[in-house]
Amino acid sequence: MIKPQNIIKGNTIGVVSTARKISLKEINPAIEILESWGLKVVVGNTIGMEDNQYAGTDEQRLEDLQWMLDDPEIHAIVCARGGYGTVRIIDKINFDSFVKKPKWICGFSDVTVLHSHINKNIHIETIHSAMLVNFPKDKTENIATETLRKALFGEPLAYTVPNHALNRKGVANGEIIGGNLSLIYGLTGSVSDIDTNDKILFIEDLDEYLYHIDRMMKNLKRSGKLSNIKGLIVGGMTEMKDNAIPFGKNAEEIILDAVKEYAYPVCFDFPAGHLHANSALIMGREVCFEVDDKVHLRFNSR
């Protein structure tokens, strides 16, 4: 897997919205945080654009992202927000310049489309992280912003988190991949579909019905994506919903049931995803994943 160059002070960060609309006012506090790291910020044309729920038309969002991928003076791209829409432009993106000069692409949720497509097809590391809309409005730092900064600047990244009652012990080493479960499910069978073979799979989701979680996990299982992984990390399964007739299991129990016949380590409630403490993960990076009395996740230095 190819690692983009670490960011240094004085570098330029591009801000773009590949999905839902967002105003400049909403992200001004986040821009100030990025500038406090010694970085310059270039705001894309999609910020403030509007086409129904999108940050401009498909063509406008594609043009904005393409510019930032191609511009050698932009050293990393941080998405302003998620929502829905990246899948509508992914097949028209030209990654030729990006391959010649890789740069960090950062975000989560709908940005899983970019993480998955890039991991599968051009083998460049990306950063699963908070987006500008998630930065604290009072401009104070938190786990999400601090770990994104560490990932961008190439500082050591490691996590130790408390045990969960459903965790399954074990140790595994491999590349970490994944992202939003609904997006992974939606990419199945496409050119952006993830390859889970010998990988550590990370999943998280927001605002889904429990039976949807079961359906998506069954899809991953039936397509062979759960039998060949080395470990499973489950982040926030946030604001799950149930029907009037209860499903009978919570999201964590549904996921554990889907992998019960496999022997690899599994952890739940990892602090990443649609959570305040959305810890940055370097997708495509080799990690050591250990589940014991606590959970340890260490990213290899490169």
Active site amino acids: 109, 204, 274
Q: Angle at Cα 120 formed by Cα 283 and Cα 61, nearest 5°? A: 80
Q: Cα(171)–Cα(118) distance, rounded to whole angstroms? A: 27
Dihedral, 184, 187, 193, 199 alpha carbons, nearest 10: 0
How much of the chain is in helix, strand and coil states, percent to nearest 5? 30, 25, 45
Q: Cα(2)–Cα(13) distance, rounded to whole angstroms? A: 20
- Report the half-sphere exposure of 201 (CA within 13 A, side-chain side): 27
Sheet with 286-291, strands from edge to edge, namely 158-162, 294-299, 286-291, 170-180, 200-206, 231-238, 266-267
Dihedral, 239, 117, 31, 27 alpha carbons, nearest 10: -40
